């Protein structure tokens, strides 16, 4: 189950099952031994509101004022009535969409509760947050020193596996890597184990090394963008590097999108970011704004994770949806036809405690892009079955520490029904070297 309920207001999603999609058939090699495992994403759901029980962030409109936090916040130095222009704009936007959020969320949550969902904590145990850090962004920074081959000499796409179903020597930083098999695989890359979903492709690089994705020649019907927006919280925490808004204009969206491509951008609640996307970024790419949607974050009890009217943090985020309309005379009118997108839809789900992990949008967008659509995520931090993903932390949430792996018994008869499961194949995916699968230029003579 992934879509718990759908109505004219939007959707209620059960996020974990979306992440688990495609991982039931997974192969893992340990030394020369091959085993079949079932992978499932661990539970990192937010169970309780960030406010105590005396100030529940309810969705019925009765307790949506600012409530007392369990941990006392630091006092603000400036006076409460002293708002800057950005805060004034944000307040005006909030008042404009407040009733949509409140009424739509109540309707969706009530329906989900009738179906037995969002009626309380469903799990007594929540997995601790992984402490591992693969420093993917740092590796991408190192890879910037490697020269790219001339276009006519470079093969921009590579397979994760050889024809014998063994892992190939992959260049993660300057080629698009594909798992063309119908099964997921646990593979050793850079001395760490990652789970790669079936029929997926990815490029691990920073903003300056995105050209292999463009040179691969792929064109997409859906592009989802989750920019690392600049804000004070990210700057203080140093969780990841942010990017100035103006730099986003250099993303090669017109070279990646097919005519009529649906472009979806996650936007923070900072009003300047929203204006930038609508008034500058999309027009620069030739993308026409068609709708604004809202991701509403609730607890397993169906309450807002923050009170709706909190001046500090809102329980929702904005998605700006648009259609790529290239001004190309050779584009036929039939190519430009697309399914209309309704405005002001809500996506209600229990958020992850993992920082900046968004719900997957494949289920809610499929009716607007078609079943055979080619999908791309930019600034991704995880992979999806059938999708292409790019970012300098594109494998972050694919690390084995985020998953439960359970052994699966599979008979030889069942295995040979599908040629992708070949028990005669023995490959060694493990490597004690941290340099495994890095570009040869990273290796010393002894390591080579």
**What span, in angstroms and rounded, lies between the C-alpha atoms of 176 and 217?**
11
pLDDT of residue 54: 43
Task: Tell me, yes or no, whether 182 lies in a domain.
Answer: yes
Task: Tell me, yes or no, whether 252 lies in a domain.
Answer: yes
Query: Which has the higher per-residue pLDDT, 84 or 375?
Result: 375
Instruction: Specify the range with the lowest mean pLDDT, choosing from 58-72, 95-109, 238-252.
Output: 58-72
What mean pLDDT, rounded, does the chain reach?
80
pLDDT at 135 over 70: yes
CATH code of the domain in which 264 resides:
3.40.50.150
**What span, in angstroms and rounded, lies between the C-alpha atoms of 322 and 274?**
13
As a whole number, mean pLDDT of residues 136-159 equals 75
Q: Which tens digits make up the pLDDT trace of 378-437?
A: 999 999 999 999 999 999 999 999 999 998 876 544 554 444 433 333 333 333 343 344
Range of the domain at 40: 3-47+121-442
pLDDT of residue 195: 94
- Strand stretches in 326-384, DSSP E: 346-349, 375-378
pLDDT of residue 2: 86
pLDDT at 142 over 60: yes
Per the structure, how many domains does the chain have? 1
Instruction: Specify the range with the lowest mean pLDDT, choosing from 37-51, 96-110, 147-161, 327-341.
Output: 327-341
Task: Tell me, yes or no, whether 279 lies in a domain.
Answer: yes
Task: Tell me, yes or no, whether 355 lies in a domain.
Answer: yes
pLDDT confidence tier of residue 153, bands split at 50, 70 and 90: low
Task: Give the position of tokens 């495994």.
Answer: 436
Q: Which tens digits make up the pLDDT trace of 25-48?
A: 899 866 566 788 989 998 877 766
pLDDT of residue 320: 98
Task: Tell me, yes or no, whether 101 lies in a domain.
Answer: no
Highest mean pLDDT among 24-28, 65-69, 153-157, 408-412: 24-28
What does the DSSP 8-state code read for residue 145?
A: T
**What span, in angstroms and rounded, lies between the C-alpha atoms of 173 and 143?**
7
**What span, in angstroms and rounded, lies between the C-alpha atoms of 430 and 380?**
26
As a whole number, mean pLDDT of residues 319-329 equals 87
**What span, in angstroms and rounded, lies between the C-alpha atoms of 143 and 65?**
49
Q: Which of 48, 50, 12, 42 is nearest to 120 (CA)?
A: 48
Task: Tell me, yes or no, whether 100 lies in a domain.
Answer: no
């Amino acid at each position: 189950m992934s879509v718990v309920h759908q109505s004219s207001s939007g959707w209620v999603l059960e996020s974990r099952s979306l992440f688990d999609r495609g991982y039931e058939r997974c192969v893992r090699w340990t030394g020369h031994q091959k085993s079949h495992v079932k992978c499932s994403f661990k539970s990192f759901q937010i169970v309780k509101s960030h406010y105590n029980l005396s100030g529940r962030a309810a969705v019925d409109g009765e307790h949506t004022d600012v409530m007392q936090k369990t941990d006392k916040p630091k006092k603000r130095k400036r006076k409460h009535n002293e708002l800057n222009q950005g805060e004034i704009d944000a307040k005006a936007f909030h008042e404009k969409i407040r009733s949509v959020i409140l009424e739509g969320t109540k309707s969706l949550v009530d329906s989900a509760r009738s179906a037995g969902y969002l009626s309380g904590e469903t799990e007594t145990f929540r997995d601790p947050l992984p402490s591992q850090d693969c420093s993917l962004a740092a590796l991408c920074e190192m890879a910037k020193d490697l020269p790219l081959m001339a276009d006519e000499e470079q093969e921009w796409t590579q397979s994760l596996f050889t024809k014998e179903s063994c892992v190939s020597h992959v260049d993660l930083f300057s080629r698009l890597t594909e798992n063309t098999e119908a099964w997921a695989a646990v593979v050793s890359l850079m001395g760490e184990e990652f789970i790669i979903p079936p029929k997926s492709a990815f490029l691990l690089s920073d903003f300056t090394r995105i050209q292999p994705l463009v040179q691969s020649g792929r064109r997409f019907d859906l592009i989802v963008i989750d920019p690392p927006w600049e804000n004070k919280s990210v700057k203080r925490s140093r969780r990841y590097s942010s990017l100035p808004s103006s730099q986003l204009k250099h993303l090669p969206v017109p070279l990646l999108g097919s005519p009529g491509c649906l472009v979806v951008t996650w936007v923070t609640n900072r009003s300047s970011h929203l204006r930038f996307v609508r008034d500058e970024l999309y027009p620069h790419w030739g993308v026409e704004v068609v709708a604004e949607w809202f991701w509403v974050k609730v607890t397993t009890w169906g309450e807002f994770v923050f009170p709706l009217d909190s001046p500090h943090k809102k329980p929702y985020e904005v998605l700006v949806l648009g259609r790529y309309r290239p001004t190309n005379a050779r584009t036929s009118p039939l190519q430009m036809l697309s399914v209309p997108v309704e405005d002001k839809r809500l996506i209600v789900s229990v958020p992850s405690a993992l920082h900046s992990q968004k719900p997957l949008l494949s289920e809610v967008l499929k009716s607007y892009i078609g079943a055979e659509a080619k999908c791309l995520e930019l600034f991704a931090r995880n992979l999806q079955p059938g999708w292409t993903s790019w970012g300098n932390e594109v494998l972050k949430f694919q690390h084995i520490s985020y998953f439960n792996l359970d052994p699966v018994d599979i008979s030889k008869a069942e295995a040979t029904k599908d040629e992708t499961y070949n028990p005669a194949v023995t490959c060694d995916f493990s490597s004690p070297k941290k340099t495994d699968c890095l570009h040869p230029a990273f290796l010393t003579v002894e390591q080579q």
